[in-house]
């Protein structure tokens, strides 16, 4: 595939994402304006006169028709300004920027754990096909898959946090550690500051939330990879490779795995998008100041600009992840590359 | 290349080889030997156990199958007793395989080059010489642009090209033995000629011994030094190719020969073998000769104990009698569809074209021109053959006539009136025309019983169940099926029986035209003969017309008075079958005919001659 075509494809993709974000922003805007709450109710002093209340409303633009409000918001948004939080009284972008890294880190680690462990277990149970180990693996996997993430989260807190006191479960890091913020990602900042003790403490705090987020993914990846390996092994080229004297290990890793990975990658794509939804409750359970907790606060206080901003951020992340998954197909499947 | 000793000692020898699955003898008492530089043909229909022999040699028997007695020697090595690790080391080095479906046998996510790199690394070559060696090997199998093909993926190549690549891959280690398992079964007839010619040239160049597994007698006759005919897991006849083919001794071999339609010579009715080859489970009940149920001569002696291979004139056959005959049947009132006597036009296609579009975001771009300006008439009661290779548009033509696709241009007329798309027109169409599909297993609903399947066309009518059953019974009788099959489902039937049910279903409403799309291509020769004779009988009984779409010229010659040759979506030649085949005018028709291995093994076959000249 030549570079020009690739750039054209990438350009089209970015334009599509921009269009999708625009549509989503309209939906979010309209829906939020339609719910019967008064975002300013808490701001307006109880003894304010009707005129005073109206002037506060006017200051925020809430007295104009919805489409005007939207266009105003859009005009600002295109300049990178998502407005100020009504309660937080801080720019929405800054609030999101502070909270986002932790959520990304949590989701990434959860997904990574799920994929790596799931793939390992998938290969393991595949190699053990026909034995008791495979059936045990399958039974455990279907159990793991049927328990939702937040239940895992609570169970881990109860078992490893409270009963056994093995792991910390409040916040992202012991507050005794103070590390300068550079990237916003604690896992990187602690290393940049050369504080290995803080790094270790942060990891310790992340073990349970990451595990809770990963449980379902491990099970799913394992099952899908195993069954696509079974399917790929029925293909004639596997047998043909065997007849050329290729070893079973080489057949698995060189011939089968790459072809079997395609359905698994599709699954990971769907899972990646869902992971961000999953972080919301996990952050709440483990008191992690990420996007999820910010969202909960925003909803509780009817902070419309903040809710809007966070929704849009979630949306952008999901669209971006989907594009990355599509891109990985091109790498995996030469048939797509040549079209 | 061959030394004195190598000439006398067989390279591969099997004696009394028996493979069991539980208490079933899947392969029984297999004997054969293959000398260095020779080609041994293993001939048999599907289910005879041909591929199982390859699996034994590769030590790749399916779970539950094992060799229980007999021996298999490769040179001085005992292939049965040797450790699996050592056995595996032989594969790809001394023993190489050429697979059945070339498109499937290459990894879709690896380039052609990386297949070679992997194999050469396995053989111990250094990376620096790999590319040069691969290019050499690819040019050796007549791939025109090897540098280009090196970086291509399997799906970018045709089936014939993939098979060339696989042949190059097989011969690159200069093996002593190559096992070719139906290497051309999934290829078009013109590629078949090229591939077989190539295989033969490579075999001669390297002095390799080849085990050639096939179901095509004519093909085996052209290239094999010796043949072994396999039936239900037993070698029923073996010897020098010429001896076996000129004077077959076993009734099965005789029947197989008589069941294959011929491409030239006098038209003779095909003798179709009654019944079908037993399945694995039926082996249990067959203590003696496994062919006995289909043999007219079989006695109690045949049924009670296994029959050994016996010397008959100049070769071996597994039969107690010298003049045994199979139970065969001929078409009633042996007659081919009489020559092009039109009894009035039934269906007419008037400059019909079909273009498949690729749909983009904003536009439809013309993609494949499946049919270009095709005009064709079929008279009432006429049998017309449509021949051509894959991609010639012949199936599209059938689907258009049936109304499964719409023509882009042109009109289709039934009884002189154009066929439209309205509900009424559709009723008129399906009352007159019916289609029989290529794969009966896919075309029959696996959950419905034969009685419902066969009478599907009259299902919407108010009808008493017993009347419907009676109709189904008549249909089964017309298609030569026992009426106790009425309550069976598709899974309980053999391939030939399924195709009969499929034909019975098409006949239910007494249509005037049957469109048969490759209806025998998935069937074995002996079963194919049954279906072909059935179609002739139906013509007699129903006076039906037939549009026979087939890649097999001999099948078309057997059935059809008129033939239409298609190439790249166009009709390139049409006329009376005999005349077209005897004196083809278009270059493509000539190519098509010369690509078919001649029925008489003494006749030269063009693709082999060309390769002999070239090397």
Segments in B155-250 forming alpha helices (H): 159-171, 189-206, 217-223, 241-246
CATH of domain A104-302: 1.10.3720.10
Structural tokens at position B350? 């008037």
CB–CB of A170/A286 below 8 Å?
Answer: yes
CB-based contacts of A190, cutoff 8 Å, min separation 6: A173, A177, A179, A196, A198, A199, A202
How confident is the model over B508-523, as a mean pLDDT? Answer: 88
Lowest average pLDDT, out of A187-196, A218-227, B210-219, goes to: A187-196
- Chain A interface mutation, best of B109, B156, B178, highest count of A Cβ atoms under 10 Å: B109
- pLDDT at site B333: 58
- pLDDT at site B338: 54
CB-based contacts of B597, cutoff 8 Å, min separation 6: B193, B196, B216, B218, B219, B221, B222, B605
- pLDDT at site B342: 54
Residue B285 has pLDDT above 50, yes or no: yes
If one compares B54 and A81, the residue with the highest pLDDT of the two is B54
CB–CB of B226/B40 below 8 Å?
Answer: yes
- pLDDT at site B528: 87
pLDDT range class, residue B65, cuts 50, 70, 90: very high
* Nearest C-alpha neighbor of B570 from the set B399, B414, B386: B386
Q: Which residues of B touch A235 (CB under 8 A)?
A: 104
Structural tokens at position A57? 């409303």
- Burial (0-12, 13-18, 19+ Cβ within 10 Å), B149: buried
- pLDDT at site B87: 92
| Helical pair B525-542 and B251-259, crossing angle rounded to 10 deg | 50
Work out the angle at residue B387's Cα, subtended by the Cα atoms of residues B384 and B388, and round it to the nearest 5 degrees.
160
Quick check: B88 and A245 CB within 8 A?
Answer: yes
Q: Which residues of A touch B107 (CB under 8 A)?
A: 237, 241, 255, 259
* Nearest-CA distance B273 → chain A (Å): 33
Q: Which residues of B touch A259 (CB under 8 A)?
A: 107-109
Quick check: A236 and B166 CB within 8 A?
Answer: no
pLDDT range class, residue A214, cuts 50, 70, 90: very high
φ/ψ bin of B157: left (φ > 0), alpha (ψ from -120 to 50), beta (otherwise): beta
How confident is the model over B159-177, as a mean pLDDT? Answer: 93
Count of residues in chain B: 615
How confident is the model over B230-256, as a mean pLDDT? Answer: 93
User: Which H helix or E strand runs over B270?
Assistant: none
> What is the spatial distance between Cα B165 and Cα B150, in angstroms, rounded to a whole number?
10
Counting one residue from A and one from B, how many pairs have CB atoms under 8 Å apart? 69
Radius of gyration of chain A (CA): 24
Q: Which fold has domain B345-357+376-442+512-596?
A: Rossmann fold (3.40.50)
CB–CB of A282/A153 below 8 Å?
Answer: yes
Strands of B12-21's sheet in order across: B24-34, B12-21, B65-74, B77-78
How confident is the model over B30-41, as a mean pLDDT? Answer: 94
For residue B173, the SS3 value is coil
* Nearest-CA distance A238 → chain B (Å): 8
Q: What separation in angstroms does the CA of B598 have from each of B41, B265, B385, B559, B601?
A: 17, 11, 20, 19, 6
Residue range B73-109, pLDDT digits in tens: 999 899 998 999 999 999 999 999 998 889 899 999 8
All CATH 3.40.50.300 domain ranges in chain B, comma separated: 4-94+173-317, 345-357+376-442+512-596
> What is the spatial distance between Cα A123 and Cα A264, in angstroms, rounded to a whole number?
12
- pLDDT at site B174: 93
- pLDDT at site A304: 82
Q: For chain A, which residues make up each domain, given as ranges?
A: 104-302
User: Which H helix or E strand runs over B70?
Assistant: strand B65-74
CB–CB of A218/A113 below 8 Å?
Answer: yes
For residue A138, the SS3 value is helix
- Residue B497 has a CB neighbour count (10 Å cut-off) of 22
| Torsion angles phi and psi, residue B467, rounded to 5 | -70, -40
Residue B340 has pLDDT above 50, yes or no: no
- pLDDT at site A337: 67
- Residue B464 has a CB neighbour count (10 Å cut-off) of 8
- pLDDT at site B42: 95
If one compares A63 and B538, the residue with the highest pLDDT of the two is B538
pLDDT range class, residue B2, cuts 50, 70, 90: very low
- pLDDT at site B436: 92
Residue range B589-600, pLDDT digits in tens: 999 998 899 888
For residue A63, the SS3 value is coil
CB–CB of B250/B290 below 8 Å?
Answer: no
Quick check: B105 and A255 CB within 8 A?
Answer: no
If one compares B369 and A315, the residue with the highest pLDDT of the two is A315
Quick check: B88 and A334 CB within 8 A?
Answer: no
- pLDDT at site B5: 46
Segments in chain A forming alpha helices (H): 3-34, 50-60, 66-78, 92-127, 132-146, 149-156, 186-192, 196-232, 236-243, 248-250, 257-285, 291-300, 304-332, 334-337
Structural tokens at position A224? 């899908």
> What is the spatial distance between Cα A339 and Cα B151, in angstroms, rounded to a whole number?
16
pLDDT range class, residue A138, cuts 50, 70, 90: confident
pLDDT range class, residue B1, cuts 50, 70, 90: very low
CB–CB of B200/B166 below 8 Å?
Answer: no
Quick check: B122 and A334 CB within 8 A?
Answer: no
Hey, which CATH number is domain B4-94+173-317, 2.60.40.730, 3.40.50.150, 3.10.450.50, 3.40.50.300?
Answer: 3.40.50.300
> What is the spatial distance between Cα A105 and Cα A283, in angstroms, rounded to a whole number?
12
Least CB-CB distance to A244: which of B91, B100, B104?
A: B91
- pLDDT at site B3: 45
Structural tokens at position B558? 């057997």
How confident is the model over B113-125, as a mean pLDDT? Answer: 94
User: In whole angstroms, what separates CA B383 from the centre of its chain?
Assistant: 22
> What is the spatial distance between Cα A244 and Cα A237, in angstroms, rounded to a whole number?
10
Structural tokens at position B456? 């599907």
Residue range B351-392, pLDDT digits in tens: 999 988 776 556 666 677 789 999 999 998 899 999 998 888
Quick check: B93 and A236 CB within 8 A?
Answer: no
Quick check: A259 and B109 CB within 8 A?
Answer: yes
How confident is the model over B392-396, as a mean pLDDT? Answer: 89
How confident is the model over B290-312, as a mean pLDDT? Answer: 89
Least CB-CB distance to B60: which of A242, A250, A255?
A: A242
Residue range B414-449, pLDDT digits in tens: 988 888 888 888 889 988 999 998 888 888 998 899
Q: Which residues of B touch A239 (CB under 8 A)?
A: 60, 99, 105
CB–CB of B496/B276 below 8 Å?
Answer: yes
Least CB-CB distance to A245: which of B92, B110, B166?
A: B92
CB–CB of B284/B24 below 8 Å?
Answer: yes
Quick check: B58 and A334 CB within 8 A?
Answer: no
């Amino acid at each position: 595939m030549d570079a020009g075509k690739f750039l054209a494809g990438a350009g089209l993709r970015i334009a599509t994402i921009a269009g999708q974000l625009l549509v989503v922003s309209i939906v979010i805007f309209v829906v939020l304006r339609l719910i019967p709450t008064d975002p300013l109710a808490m701001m307006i002093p109880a003894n304010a006169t009707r005129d005073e209340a109206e002037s506060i409303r006017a200051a925020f633009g809430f007295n104009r028709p919805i489409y005007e409000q939207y266009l105003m918001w859009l005009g600002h948004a295109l300049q990178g300004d998502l407005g100020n939080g009504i309660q937080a009284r801080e720019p929405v972008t800054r609030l999101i920027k502070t909270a986002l890294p932790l959520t990304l880190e949590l989701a990434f680690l959860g997904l990574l754990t799920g994929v790596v462990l799931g793939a390992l277990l998938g290969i393991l149970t595949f190699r053990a096909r026909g034995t008791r180990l495979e059936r045990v693996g399958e039974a455990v996997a279907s159990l793991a898959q049927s328990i939702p993430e937040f239940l895992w989260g609570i169970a881990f807190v109860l078992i490893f946090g409270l009963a056994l006191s093995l792991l910390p479960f409040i916040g992202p890091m012991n507050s005794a550690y103070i590390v300068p913020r550079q990237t916003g990602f604690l896992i990187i900042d602690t290393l940049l500051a050369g504080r290995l003790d803080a790094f270790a403490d942060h990891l310790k705090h992340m073990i349970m939330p990451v595990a809770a987020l990963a449980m379902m993914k491990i099970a799913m990846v394992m099952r899908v990879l195993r069954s696509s390996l079974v399917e790929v092994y029925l293909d004639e080229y596997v047998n043909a490779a065997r007849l050329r004297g290729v070893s079973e290990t080489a057949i698995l890793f060189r011939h089968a795995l790459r072809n079997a990975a395609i359905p698994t990658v599709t699954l990971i794509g769907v899972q990646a998008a869902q992971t961000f939804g999953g972080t919301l409750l996990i952050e709440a359970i483990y008191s992690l100041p990420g996007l999820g907790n910010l969202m909960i606060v925003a909803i509780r206080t009817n902070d419309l600009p903040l809710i809007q901003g966070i929704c849009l951020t979630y949306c952008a992340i999901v669209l971006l992840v989907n594009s990355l998954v599509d891109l990985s197909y091109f790498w995996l499947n030469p048939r797509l590359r040549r079209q | 290349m061959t030394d004195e000793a190598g000439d006398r000692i067989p390279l591969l020898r099997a004696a009394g080889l028996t493979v069991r699955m539980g208490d079933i003898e899947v392969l029984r008492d297999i004997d054969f030997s293959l000398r260095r530089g020779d080609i041994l043909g293993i001939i048999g229909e599907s289910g005879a156990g041909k591929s199982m022999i390859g699996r034994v040699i590769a030590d790749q028997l399916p779970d539950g199958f094992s060799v229980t007695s007999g021996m298999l020697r490769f040179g001085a090595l005992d292939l049965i007793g040797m450790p699996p690790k050592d056995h595996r080391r032989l594969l790809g080095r001394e023993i190489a395989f050429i697979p059945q479906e070339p498109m499937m046998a290459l990894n879709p996510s690896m380039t052609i080059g990386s297949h070679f790199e992997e194999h050469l690394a396995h053989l111990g070559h250094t990376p620096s010489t790999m590319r040069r060696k691969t290019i050499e090997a690819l040019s050796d199998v007549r791939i025109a642009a090897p540098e280009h093909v090196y970086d291509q993926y399997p799906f970018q190549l045709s089936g014939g090209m993939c098979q060339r690549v696989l042949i190059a891959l097989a011969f690159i280690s200069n093996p002593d033995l190559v096992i070719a398992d139906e290497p051309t079964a999934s290829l078009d007839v013109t590629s078949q000629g090229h591939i077989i010619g190539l295989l033969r040239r490579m075999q001669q160049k390297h002095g390799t011994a080849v085990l050639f597994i096939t179901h095509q007698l004519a093909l085996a006759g052209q290239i094999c030094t010796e043949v072994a005919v396999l039936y239900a897991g037993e070698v029923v006849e073996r010897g020098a190719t010429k001896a076996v083919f000129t004077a077959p001794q076993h009734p099965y071999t005789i029947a197989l020969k008589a069941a294959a339609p011929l491409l030239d010579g006098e038209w003779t009715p095909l003798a179709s073998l009654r019944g079908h080859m037993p399945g694995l489970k039926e082996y249990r009940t067959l203590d003696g000769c496994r062919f006995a149920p289909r043999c007219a001569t079989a006695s109690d002696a045949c049924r009670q104990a296994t029959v050994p291979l016996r010397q008959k004139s100049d070769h071996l056959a597994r039969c107690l009698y010298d003049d045994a005959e199979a139970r065969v049947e001929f078409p009633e009132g042996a007659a081919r569809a009489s020559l092009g006597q039109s009894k009035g036009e039934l269906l007419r296609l008037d400059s019909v074209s079909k273009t498949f579009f690729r749909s983009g975001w904003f536009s439809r771009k013309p993609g494949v021109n499946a049919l270009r300006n095709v005009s064709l008439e079929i008279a009432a009661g006429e049998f017309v053959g449509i021949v051509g290779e894959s991609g010639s548009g012949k199936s599209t033509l059938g689907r258009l006539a049936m109304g499964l696709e719409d023509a882009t241009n042109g009109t289709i007329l039934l009884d002189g009136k154009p066929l439209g798309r309205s509900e009424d027109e559709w009723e008129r169409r399906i009352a007159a025309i019916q289609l029989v599909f290529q794969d009966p297993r896919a075309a029959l609903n696996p959950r419905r019983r034969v009685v419902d399947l066969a009478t599907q066309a009259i299902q919407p009518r108010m009808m008493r169940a017993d009347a419907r059953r009676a109709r189904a019974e008549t249909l089964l009788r017309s298609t030569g099926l026992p009426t106790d099959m009425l309550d069976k489902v598709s899974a309980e039937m053999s391939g030939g029986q399924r195709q009969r049910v499929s034909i019975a279903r098409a006949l239910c409403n007494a249509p005037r035209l049957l469109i048969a799309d490759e209806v025998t291509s998935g069937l074995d020769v002996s079963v194919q003969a049954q279906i072909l004779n059935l179609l002739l009988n139906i013509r007699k009984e129903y006076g039906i017309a037939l549009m026979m779409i087939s890649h097999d010229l001999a099948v078309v010659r057997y059935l059809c008075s008129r033939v239409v040759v298609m190439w790249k979506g166009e009709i390139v030649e049409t006329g009376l079958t005999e005349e077209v085949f005897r004196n083809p005018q278009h270059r493509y028709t000539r190519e098509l005919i010369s690509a078919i291995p001649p029925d008489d093994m003494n006749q030269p076959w063009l693709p082999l001659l060309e390769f002999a000249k070239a090397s």
